[in-house]
Structure 1
Amino acid sequence: MTYNKNMCHMVMGSIENNMNYMINKNKSNYTEKLFEIKNLDNEIIGNIKIGSYGLLYYMDNDVDFLKEINKVITSIGIVMVLITIFIAILISNNISKPVEVVSNMANLIGDGDYDNKIDYDSNIVEIDVLIKSINNLSAKLEEQENLRKRLTTDISHELRTPLTSIQTHLEAMIDGIWEPDTERLNSVNEEVIRLTNLVNQLQNLAKFDSEKSKLNLAKVNVKNLIMNVVYNNQGKALEKNINIECDLESIDSYLDKDKISQVIVNLLSNAIRYTNNGGKIFISSYKENNNLKIQFKDNGIGIPKENIKYIFERFYRVDESRSKNTGGIGVGLTIVKSIIDLHQGTIEVRSELNKGSEFIVILPNL
């Protein structure tokens, strides 16, 4: 057998270099073993250490292939990092842009500018919901701001009118233009009573707004409670020739008697106020689905459809001129809603202009 010694050394050197290159990555594959060298007389004359890479060794083409694989993996990793950064920037822009728009809108709302609306469509459902909520908030705040401005005007008007009348009468009497007779003094007294009623309405509203306004529940016969209120208001109805009809079931329920009486008084008073002469008011009470229902229905002037959602707002009046005849400042229904909410109940309103209104109080029958 012939062999090329130099070629063998080159191959073995190449294998050694390749294995040294790979052994840095996986040293556990390399093992060494020490052997004794003996002569013919079995005497130890030296030692030899032989290293082995196991059954697997790497040729030049194997190492080149692995290097290329590493380059490909590294390139793929770099590309994926770049793609991830691009996608992250894209998603960040899609989120940050609408958030910036919402933030600017929130700042405008904070500055009292409620007229602006966000007109922006994103590809994210949650962002769209947030934008819709901000627009709704802006609309609600604008409504409340308009009501606040209206409140300032209404209160100043309601207080100024009787105060001006009182001042005019008293000045005329002081200057001797009018004699302080019974008729003049009664006129002043009526204006004082009107002022007192206005202040009392404001106090009642503050009372029901207070956290101290709690329920004093007791067993109450609803039929008797309603009839007592009807009897007390019969005179006002007769003044306008209004017929009050009742269909009341005898129901006992645990309620706050005083507060529910206030609800009935306010609803009946409104029905009488806004029902024309010769009109009719129908009151009924009954149980339905384990709830107590009290219904007030009239054939009065009704409420415009677009105003129904505002009638429980404090100081809101459908018709500005009504206060001159009714003397109200728009807190009666607000108090009604507060009391019903305290009882964990609801109130429904159905009305048609010039045909009448219907209020249905729904209370849990305890």
Structure 2
Amino acid sequence: MIKSLNLKILMIFILALTVGFALSVPVTAYLFRDVVDRSVRDAYAARAGMIADVYPRLAADERGPYLERLSGDQGASLWVYDRSGLRHAYGRTEEPLLTDEDIRLVLDGAEVVKRASFWPLPTSLYMGFPVRTAEGTLALVIRPERSDAVRLMAGVTAVFILTALLIGSFKFILFTRIVIKPLKALTAATRKVAKGDYNLSLQTKSKDELGILTKQFRQMTEEISQVEKMRQEFVSNVSHEIQTPLASISGYVSILQSGGLSEEEQLRCLDIIRQESMRLSRLSENMLRLAAIDSSHFRFHPSTVRLDRQLRRVVVTAEPQWAAKRLNIHLDLPRTEIRGDEDLLNQVWLNILGNSIKFTPEGGEIFIELKAGDGGIGVVFRDTGIGIGEEDLRRVFERFYKADKSRNRDAGGSGLGLAIVRRVVELHQGTVEIGSTPGEGTVVTVMLPAV
């Protein structure tokens, strides 16, 4: 089996040329058959005329040697018939293709031509010419045995075919190297990617299919590299998020086991263990929720949602948190209906409101508004919290990213809330944007399609 693509293409090229030349022979023969026949007939008609002029003048004993010599000189087989049948044969000894009826027609003064095969060669023709002598009309049958012109044509054709094959193959090898070179580079690149090396230097100026393939492979590799980095970061973040509360739980359990603690200290340790356990529970819950939303089998259940009512219920649900910090909640919620998954949207509002409550100091303000515009419905959460820095603002939607890790951990966050928010909003064909000024507050705007 041929494994080299270069050799395969070359073999296909040579096979195509060979088949093409092989098919061109019968096609050419068919197209030029009449031309060749006419040329041979005209040539031998002239010769037959010469024989018809000379033959009657010769003595009886001179006619045989004359035709014998003529047969050898002109490369033809000759047969002479009279009314009683064959008189003389010169050259080939087999019977000619002409029938008795054909011979009779020639003896009556007609010219008869018969073809022995499809191929337009002189040797395939049998030509009968009348020759008038003093003894009566004879039938002269001529079949060319060889033709210098045909041999020369055959030789030239053979040389042409061989030269075309050699030159064509040489050029094809050069041209295929241009095609095969980027394919070899692409093959080497796939091996590197398979080994986990995404640092590729694939460069191409070609705009054909190979150029497009190389460009798309490079883009695919870059995306895979980003996915791999995200995977590594995800594993690292998950490990860190799980390890920290586990270490805290383990430490406080050890303290409790050591004994000698007052009841107040024991309750404090148990409270910390409870908080860290709840934190682990929220982390696993959020991870499962994100995995479910990202799954191709996730079921999306849209229905008509009264958005103003839902937001009010969310505020009431979170009352223990914002009341504990003496925050002022301002609502501007006109009657609004949208199409969406009510449970998923509830998670969005809880996450956004939860962040506002966490990062707004005591006595601060939180504003929740519904606005219509640009063919959609805008839900705006605005607070007077600590704000987010410009560098962190670009990454707040990344999974496990925390703008203020120490403050976020104290608040019990896992860095997954806003990732869930963006994914759910995208499922609803909407957008979410965050604007913030450190020390002044944050504004989160969610745009959803109107009903």
TM-score (norm 2): 0.61
For residues 122-155 of structure 1, what are the alpha-carbon distances to aligned partners after superposition, in whole Å with 9 as ceiling and x for unaligned? 4344333333333333333333333333333322
How many pairs are equivalent?
A: 348
1:347 is matched with which residue? Answer: 431
Q: Paired residue for 1:302, among 388, 397, 409?
A: 388
Indicate which of 216, 237, 246 corresponds to 2:301: 216
Instruction: Tell me by how many angstroms 1:113 deviates.
Output: 1.8
Distance in 2 (alpha carbons) for counterparts of 1:91 and 1:297: 65
Answer yes or no: is 1:177 the counterpart of 2:263.
no
| Partners of 1:173 and 1:179 within 8 A in 2 | no
Q: CA deviation at 1:224?
A: 1.7
What corresponds to 1:101 in structure 2?
A: 185
- The 2-side partners of 1:102 and 1:59 are apart by 57
Q: Is the 8 A contact 1:284 1:296 kept in 2?
A: yes
> Residue type matched to 1:120 in 2?
Q
Tell me the SS of whatever aligns to 2:421.
helix
- Counterpart check, 1:84 vs 2:179: no
In the superposition, relative to structure 1, how do residues 79 and 184 fare at CA in structure 2: closer, same or farther (>3 Å)? same
Give the aligned partner of residue 348 of structure 2. Answer: 263
Deviation of the 1:34 alpha carbon: 8.2
Match of 2:261, SS? coil
User: Which letter maps to 1:253?
Assistant: I
Q: Aligned residue for 1:48?
A: 139
Question: Hey, what does 2:314 align to over in structure 1?
Answer: 229
Q: State how 1:178-193 maps to structure 2 within 5 Å.
A: 178-181=261-264, 182-193=267-278
1:281-292 equivalent positions in 2, closer than 5 A = 283-288=368-373, 290-292=375-377
Farther off after superposition, 166-175 or 203-212 = 203-212
SS in 2 for 1:349: strand
Aligned to 1:145: 228
Give the CA RMSD over aligned residues: 4.5
Q: Is the 8 A contact 1:275 1:298 kept in 2?
A: yes
Letter in 2 for 1:324: R
Structure 1 residues 137 and 196 mapped into 2: Cα distance closer, same or farther (>3 Å)?
same
- Counterpart CA distance in 1 for 2:173 and 2:404 is 56
> CA 1:240/1:112 → structure 2, altered by over 3 Å: closer, same or farther?
farther
Cα distance, 1:330–1:80 mapped onto 2, change above 3 Å? farther
Sort the Cα spacing of 1:16 and 1:352 in 2 relative to 1 into closer, same or farther, 3 A.
farther
Q: Which deviates further from its counterpart, 75-84 or 161-170?
A: 75-84
How far apart, CA to CA, are the structure 2 residues paired with 1:139 and 1:318? 27
Partner of residue 329 from structure 1, selected from 407, 414, 420 = 414
CA distance in 1, matches of 2:365, 2:170: 73
Quote the Cα distance in structure 2 between the aligned partners of 1:95 and 1:349: 47
C-alpha separation in 2, matches of 1:340 and 1:321: 28
Q: Deviations over 1:285-341 (max 9, x none)?
A: 344454444344567633646973x55443344555454234322222332233334
Distance 1:122 1:292, change over 3 A: same
1:201 maps to 2:286:
yes
> How far apart in 1 are the matches of 2:390 and 2:156?
75
Change (3 A) 1:67 1:358: farther
Deviation string 1:228-263 (CA, Å, 9 cap, x unpaired) is 223434554566676655544422223211111112
How many Å separate the matches in 2 of 1:105 and 1:311? 34
Gaps of 5+ in 2: 1-52, 78-90, 92-114
- Once residues 351 and 294 of structure 2 are traced to their aligned partners in structure 1, the CA distance between those partners, rounded to angstroms, is 17
Identity %: 24
Higher relative contact order (CA 8 A, sep 6+): 1
What CA distance in whole angstroms lies between the structure 2 residues aligned with 1:122 and 1:35?
76
Decide whether the 8 Å contact of 2:75 with 2:147 is kept in 1: no
> TM-score w.r.t. structure 1 length?
0.72
> Comparing 220-229 with 163-172, which one deviates more in the overlay?
163-172
Compared CA separation, residues 84 and 265, structure 1 to 2 (3 A): farther
| Helix, strand or coil at the partner of 1:121 | coil
The residue type paired with residue 285 of structure 2 is N
Could you tell me which residue of structure 1 aligns to residue 120 of structure 2? 26
Equivalent position amino acid for 2:231 in 1: R
Q: Which amino acid aligns with 1:48?
A: A
CA displacement 1:67-94 (0-9 Å, x = unmatched)? 7666666555545434432343233222
Runs of at least 5 residues in structure 1 that lack an aligned partner in the other structure: none
Letter in 2 for 1:148: R
Distance in 2 (CA, whole Å) between partners of 1:273 and 1:207 is: 26
Change (3 A) 1:316 1:184: closer
Distance in structure 2 (CA, Å) of the matches to 1:349 and 1:87: 59
Distance, in Å, in 2 between the alignment partners of 1:356 and 1:69 is 95
Contact 1:245 1:283 in 2 (8 A): yes
